[in-house]
Every structure is written in structure tokens, then in C-alpha cells.
Amino acid sequence: MAHADRAIRDLLAAAQEAMANAYAPYSNYHVGAAVLTGGGRVCVGCNVENASYGLAICAERLAICKAVSEGEREIVALAVVTDGEAPAAPCGACRQVMAEFSPSGDMIVVWRGAKGKPQVQTLRDLLPWAFKLR
């Protein structure tokens, strides 16, 4: 279990570092995410807002897209950090994208706000009825 705790701490640290690059001129709400792939790689992302709000992308989806663009197809863990005081779990859109790369739902999802302890769940717990075509 110590190995898993270390991996979670490392992912949270990578997400925290990625949060510094967030582009959030409209909400001023900064988010960073880090994913651990089945191949052992860590890919990070931050939220990127847009004047046309619907075109913004969440940190979680950006980190997943980076992993996919680098050839990864399995995400085993995801960490997300925000600068808000309360922890914020991934939104529904992010959860559905996460399900695409963790069909079993075993992905570990960790989220933390600026204060307090990290929350930990499996994707299956966060999205018990994910939409699937295969």
C-alpha cells in the first residue's frame, strides 16, 4: 500500500505543478491534472478557458488527450488539483472521457482542493453507468 500512496502523492504533485500553467482569465479558477498510464507514463494537463465558454477544456481531458496523443490507451490513475478551497471532483464530461480509457472502471481518481485532504474513489464509483458502445 505504501507504493500506491507514493504514486498518489507523485500524481498530486504533478497535477499541482501543471496547475501553474492554467489559462483561466474568465473564471480565475485554476486546475491541474495528471494521469498515470498503463505504460507507466505520467501526462499532465491544465484547464484552458476560451471567450466562447463552451470551447474551454478541463485539465483532466487535456491530460488524457496528451496521453492518447503519445500512444497510450489505458489510464490507471488520475489526480486533479484546484486552487479552490474545496476539492472538486471531475465533471461529468471528464468522467465519460475517463471511462473510454478505463473500461473496467478500476481507474483510481484522486482530487484535492487548496485545503483539506485528498478524496479517493474508483471511476466506477464516480460513474457507475458509463455510456459504452463496446
Select which of 17, 60, 70, 74 is catalytic: 60
**DSSP structure string for the chain:** -HHHHHHHHHHHHHHHHHHTT-B-TTT---EEEEEEETTS-EEEEE-B--SSGGG-B-HHHHHHHHHHHTT---EEEEEEEESSSS--PPPHHHHHHHHHT-TTS--EEEEE-SSSPPEEEEHHHH-TT-----
Q: Is 49 among the catalytic positions?
A: no
Active site residues: 60
